[in-house]
């Protein structure tokens, strides 16, 4: 049955970023605006006084329905460097266990005068539900929902790639490992295709690639060596412990043998290839220590850029 396509819930009536829920559906101009805005913020983080007053008097609520230290901390730092007040709520262990519904929790916090909600939730799509119910002046930033999206991670990956490679339109990027469960992979794939990367590859065993993944605009490789050939960027994904032994994979050892990144395999990529990882890493499972700490690795700069990118996203939505 034909249906008018629903209004893009991320954009306001002027086509500006109202919420950041997913990279999918965002026009190229907005992605570039975020990356450009992040550039000077990367400088702020290196200054002695690491603060700008862009969000003074605004409140950022970190609403984490799923435990996370790293992502929550980077959002907290980003908000503080913008001079916002930050309130951290670890909802995973408070109201939800008392049976309060997701929307009731949000309504309560909204009554405490929030400007930005940073939301992480175990269920894909939860930030969309929240975005539909917040007040017009409130903004929702998705900090990871189920397997769906992790847009600020995707953006910081894009920022990192742009920083080292400048031009997206001549790159070959490989994403390796557990794409099936990865919100990071989905967000990055949408970002790369939107910014005109001509070849995005995903590499993994069939059990870790979702049905119809080609429809996202990627080439599928099951053999890592052929998949890495002549790549400019290699993005390794984290393999969760609980998925290492079972019906998806027989063992971490066998996974490492076929899909772990070693210096030997990396040699098949371009000589100036960069290696990325969203962290936290499993050394010896998806990546060998010599590569993680080696000259191609930009894993730690990713973390630094992540703060600048999150500052950019927060300051943009808060000003729209």
What residues make contact with another protein under the rule CB under 8 A?
1, 3, 5-6, 9, 24, 101-103, 121, 123-126, 128-129, 145-149, 183, 186, 210-213, 215-216
Indicate the residue among 10 and 297 with the shorter CB distance to another protein: 10
> In the 8-state DSSP scheme, what is residue 238?
P
Biggest CA–CA distance in the chain, Å, is 59
Q: Are 75 and 143 in contact (CB under 8 A)?
A: yes
Shortest distance in whole angstroms from residue 185 CB to another protein: 10
Residue 119 exposure: Cα atoms within 13 Å on the Cβ side? 33
Q: How far apart are CA 105 and CA 90, in angstroms?
A: 12
Q: How far apart are CA 254 and CA 310, in angstroms?
A: 36
Indicate the residue among 103 and 303 with the shorter CB distance to another protein: 103
Shortest distance in whole angstroms from residue 114 CB to another protein: 19
Q: How far apart are CA 45 and CA 65, in angstroms?
A: 28
SS3 label, residue 270? coil
Indicate the residue among 10 and 59 with the shorter CB distance to another protein: 10
Q: How far apart are CA 91 and CA 120, in angstroms?
A: 10
Shortest distance in whole angstroms from residue 247 CB to another protein: 10
Please, where are the H alpha helices in the chain? 28-44, 70-81, 102-110, 126-133, 151-165, 183-194, 224-228, 252-259, 263-266, 289-292, 299-319
Shortest distance in whole angstroms from residue 149 CB to another protein: 7
Indicate the residue among 1 and 111 with the shorter CB distance to another protein: 1
Indicate the residue among 19 and 72 with the shorter CB distance to another protein: 19
Indicate the residue among 102 and 197 with the shorter CB distance to another protein: 102
Shortest distance in whole angstroms from residue 265 CB to another protein: 27
Indicate the residue among 58 and 186 with the shorter CB distance to another protein: 186
Single out the residue of 17, 32, 14 nearest to residue 131, CA to CA. Answer: 17
Query: What is the sign of the dihedral through the CA atoms of 102, 107, 113 and 114?
Result: positive
Shortest distance in whole angstroms from residue 212 CB to another protein: 4
What spatial distance separates the first Cα and last Cα of the chain, rounded to whole Å? 35
Indicate the residue among 145 and 232 with the shorter CB distance to another protein: 145
Shortest distance in whole angstroms from residue 301 CB to another protein: 27
Shortest distance in whole angstroms from residue 125 CB to another protein: 3
Indicate the residue among 38 and 209 with the shorter CB distance to another protein: 209
Structural tokens at position 163: 């920083």
Question: Beta-carbon neighbour count of residue 216 at 10 Å?
Answer: 17
Shortest distance in whole angstroms from residue 96 CB to another protein: 11
Q: How far apart are CA 67 and CA 60, in angstroms?
A: 18
């Amino acid at each position: 049955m034909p249906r008018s396509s629903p209004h893009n819930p991320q954009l306001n009536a002027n086509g500006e970023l109202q919420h950041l829920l997913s990279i999918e559906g965002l026009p190229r101009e907005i992605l570039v605006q975020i990356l450009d805005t992040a550039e000077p913020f990367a400088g702020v983080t290196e200054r002695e006084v690491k603060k700008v007053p862009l969000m003074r008097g605004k409140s950022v609520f970190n609403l984490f329905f799923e435990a996370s230290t790293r992502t929550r901390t980077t959002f907290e730092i980003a908000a503080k460097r913008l001079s916002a007040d930050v309130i951290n709520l670890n909802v995973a262990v408070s109201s939800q266990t008392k049976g309060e519904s997701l929307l009731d929790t949000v309504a309560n916090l909204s009554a405490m005068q929030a400007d930005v909600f940073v939301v992480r939730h175990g269920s894909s799509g939860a930030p969309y539900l929240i975005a539909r119910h917040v007040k017009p002046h409130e903004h929702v930033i998705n900090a990871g929902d189920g397997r769906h999206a992790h847009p600020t991670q995707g953006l910081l990956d894009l920022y990192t790639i742009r920083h080292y490679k400048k031009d997206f339109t001549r790159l070959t990027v490989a994403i390796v490992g557990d794409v099936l469960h990865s919100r990071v992979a989905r967000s990055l794939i949408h970002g790369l295709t939107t910014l005109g990367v001509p070849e995005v590859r995903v590499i993994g065993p069939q059990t870790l690639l979702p049905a119809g993944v080609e429809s996202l605009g990627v080439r599928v490789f099951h053999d890592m060596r052929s998949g890495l050939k002549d790549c400019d960027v290699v993005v390794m994904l984290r393999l969760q412990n609980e998925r290492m032994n079972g019906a998806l994979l027989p063992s971490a050892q066998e996974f490492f043998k076929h899909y772990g990144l070693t210096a030997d395999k990396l040699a098949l990529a371009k000589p100036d290839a960069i290696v990325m990882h969203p962290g936290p890493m499993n050394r010896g499972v998806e990546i060998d220590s010599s590569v993680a700490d080696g000259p191609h690795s930009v894993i730690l700069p990713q973390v630094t850029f992540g703060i600048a990118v999150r500052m950019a996203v927060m300051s943009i939505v808060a000003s729209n």
